[in-house]
Chain A
Amino acid sequence: MKIEFKNISKSFGETIANSEISFSIDGGSIHAIIGENGAGKSTLIKILSGQILPDDGSIKLGNKKMLLGSTIEATNKGIGILGQDPLDFSNFTVLESFLAGNKKSSKIISKSKFEEIISTFSKKFDWEINVNSLIKDLSVGQRQQLELIRLLYLGAKIIILDEPTSGFSLDQKKKVFENLRDLSSKGYTVILVSHKIEEILEICNKVTILQKGKLLETLDLPINPKILIDKMFGPSSNVKNDYKKIEKKSKKNITIKIDKYSDIEKITLNEGTIIGVSGLQGSGSDKFVQSFYDDLSSSKVYYENEVQIPFSEINYVASDRLEKGLFPDMTIMEHIALAYNSKGLINWSNILELTKSLINTYGIVGTPQTQAKNLSGGNQQRLMLALIKENIRLLLLEQPTRGLDISSAIFVWESLLKTKSKKNLVIFSSVDLYEIYDYSDFIICFYDNKIVASGHKNEMARAKVMEKISGK
């Protein structure tokens, strides 16, 4: 059945997730949707599966318009979604999770029947799933396998796979792909949302590229992988990291322990280095950056003489600003007080002065009394920068410009480069290759939770980095 998206638009507050997206997916094909983080892929498929109601637009299945925003409609129309983190029930047994919402089950559960169904499917794919174990004891891969079995059993005619294969081994993946091809030849439509270029090239008939919420284009496959990679990574920003070149003398060494992620035990760099961790969504690059804050026993940064940088001199800036970085209901002033007045009585008039000057310095659009939730994304990020204290030696930034418009992104980097003391070390992750190349001195490439390459910027050719992070 042909799926036709028409002018789909959806925004969350200020963020535009989808903007007038129109394209169609042929029945019986395997169609890929790609795009970098924040391009609007997951919003789009959640709209198709009824989990999100779009602000505008329509979807046609065959000749019929679909009722949007209803998962009941979507499941009735045979749309099944298999997510990166499967939507299942951690306290249920495999059998129960398989049966929840299962319209093909009889009123009274027939245990033996479904055990047989699950094991037949498992055998077909060479999977091992014990029907009596609890979902929470399964690996993510097994949960995805179970979910796929469920969708196929339910007779989903349109199967959406959202970053599905991270949990499968190579052999298992082959079997799944074989089956997907087989299904599409029988008229099933498969939609694959993925970052993995090789997978897309291997099995898909067409690919739609999204960029910043908009449709870039839909291409027929196969195609030269280089073209695809180039199209996937968006336009560049303008400020360059030339700050570095001015100072080069008498640098002390800093050592980073990375043995948990790589065969190499450690990297030794000059202080003042900016490390860019490049990797696509879900590659583990964000977790790597975070581990220097959360997991001090395994991710360590040493000064010369093996002195570890103390926790008090580490600052971590989360990318989910309102969820993890700021207090939505608290004012700018209260944030400043928390960061700069961490003991005893608070002298609010001093804090007010400090807040005013920081608002000025960082160009935050807001008053000292503005609540964090009422700031725009760019201003929230500016506030996060304003909260970084001077004595910080290790600055960790997770996707520092995610969701920001270009001018905010440039500002963020300008002020980072300006205010950052020459003595500290910056580690940031980004899905934006241009950002990595513009601002870092040293590049680490992540793929599948492992460091796949690392080196100084001049040693790392852009083409190589692109291939590495795409798993080629």
Chain B
Amino acid sequence: MDSLELTVITIVAMSAPLIFAVIGETITERVGVVNLSMEGTLLITALTGFAITIWTDSLYLGILSSALIGGFIAFIIVWINFRFYINQIAVGFIFTIFLWKLSSYLGGDFVRIPGPYLNKITIPILSEIPFLGPIFFDNNILVLSSIILIPLSWFFLFRTNLGVNLRAVGENPIAADARGLSVMKYRFIYSVIGGILIGIGGATFSLEVKYGWSEGHTLNYGWIALAIVIFGGWNPVRASVGVYGFGILQVLSLKLQSVTIGLSQILPLIPFPLMILTLVLIQSANKNEGRWFPKPIRLLIFGNQPQSLGITYKKDS
């Protein structure tokens, strides 16, 4: 394997957790819910995945329990929003701090234990194909599913009736309700599914990318994921491009670490100014000033924020 091929494989593998998290959050936000707790959820599920795997000696049970925890957290956030009408952002923020610190308390016993990790599933012959072979036919199940998830989630959101319905709830809950879609049901179901994906992302991190557990294990990944969701214009494919772009930045910063420490710390922060820029562009596109962009470029860089994103829904009675 030459070094370019190796680099590509590395990027694809290390991006897997973010792919899960970003797509999970994209689905959540598409139905109108902000799960701001991502940073905390990723940490606690990374720990869960690792700890359960050690206890039960089963990687699959580890992943499963991370998924359940991720889904449960999302459920609680939506429940508090529907039951008490407390702002999703406030709840998400509190959960971020709570789960983050909870993970460092509970994780105390697991720090630097050599951890289990997923084996690769190698398919003979096919795995010999340059580039595609090692990615698709000589990889572990999590990386593989992260790649499959990209077109799958896109297809679900934009090409199935359920996808249209769930986006309708996020766009205009009142209109969706008038058409007989239960806003509460949709928000619960798809936020939980999104939370499950974020949970799997957490497990992927500790079982596949950075084996094991340390305090603040997934440092800043939750915030980065939030930024990439926006950069991706709430579209799984574009968001994944953002994730892989971020992967390239990370590899670069690893390589540059020997040259200068500084750059390696600053490069991972690039998604944030890009997020702000994207938001600015999206907003100007809706006004007249964005019209000077040629149409294909506009379609490429602009996206539409779900109109009811983060807004508490109260059926008027």
Contact = CB atoms under 8 A, between A and B. Distances in A.
Contact of B164 (A51, A52, A96): A96
A72 B161 CA distance: 17
Interface string A44-57: 00000101110000
Interface stretch (A81-89, A268-276, A303-311, A400-408): A81-89
Contacts of B159: 108-109
Interface residues of A, number: 29
Interface stretch (B41-49, B85-93, B167-175): B167-175
Interface stretch (B123-131, B139-147, B177-185, B268-276): B177-185
Given A88-B175, A90-B171, A99 B180 contact: no
Nearest to B174: A87
Given A75-B179, A89-B175, A92-B171, A105 B161 contact: yes
Contacts of A81: 178
B170 to A, nearest CB: 9
Given A92-B168, A92-B171, A105-B161, A75 B180 contact: yes
B180 A71 contact: yes
A101 B160 contact: no
Interface string A30-56: 000000000000000000010111000
Interface string B129-158: 000000000000000000000000000000
Given A52-B316, A91-B304, A71 B177 contact: yes
Contact of A101 (B180, B307, B317): B180
B165 interface: yes
B111 interface: no
A106 to B, nearest CB: 7
A338 B176 CA distance: 40
Given A72-B182, A90-B307, A91-B304, A99 B161 contact: yes
Interface string A237-275: 000000000000000000000000000000000000000
Nearest to B179: A101
A375 interface: no
B162 A107 contact: yes
Contacts of A209: none
B172 A89 contact: yes
Contacts of B171: 89-92
Contact of B160 (A49, A53, A100, A107): A107
A7 B310 CA distance: 38
A76 interface: yes
A91 B160 CA distance: 17
Nearest to B171: A89
A81 B178 CA distance: 8
Interface in A92-125: 92, 96-97, 99-103, 105-109
B160 A108 contact: yes
A109 B164 contact: yes
Contact of A108 (B161, B177, B179): B161
A95 to B, nearest CB: 9
A66 to B, nearest CB: 14
Given A100-B165, A109-B160, A109-B161, A74 B180 contact: yes
Nearest to A109: B159
A81 B168 CA distance: 17
B226 to A, nearest CB: 21
B178 A71 contact: yes
Given A87-B178, A90-B307, A108-B161, A100 B317 contact: no
A105 B165 CA distance: 11
A213 to B, nearest CB: 17
A225 interface: no
A69 interface: yes
A99 B175 CA distance: 13
Contact of A87 (B161, B162, B172, B316): B172
A53 B180 contact: no
A101 B172 contact: no
A135 B180 CA distance: 20
A308 to B, nearest CB: 28
A81 B176 CA distance: 13
Nearest to A134: B304
A89 B178 contact: no
Given A52-B317, A87-B172, A90-B171, A100 B307 contact: no
Interface of A: 49, 51-53, 69, 71-72, 74-76, 81, 87-92, 96-97, 99-103, 105-109
20 contacts: A51-B178, A52-B317, A69-B317, A71-B178, A72-B182, A81-B178, A89-B175, A92-B171, A96-B168, A100-B164, A100-B165, A100-B168, A100-B175, A101-B165, A101-B168, A101-B180, A102-B161, A107-B161, A109-B159, A109-B161
Given A99-B164, A102-B161, 7 more contacts: A71-B178, A100-B168, A100-B175, A101-B180, A108-B160, A109-B161, A109-B164
Q: Which 9 A-B pairs have the closest CB atoms?
A: A101-B179, A75-B180, A87-B175, A100-B168, A91-B304, A105-B161, A89-B171, A72-B180, A87-B178
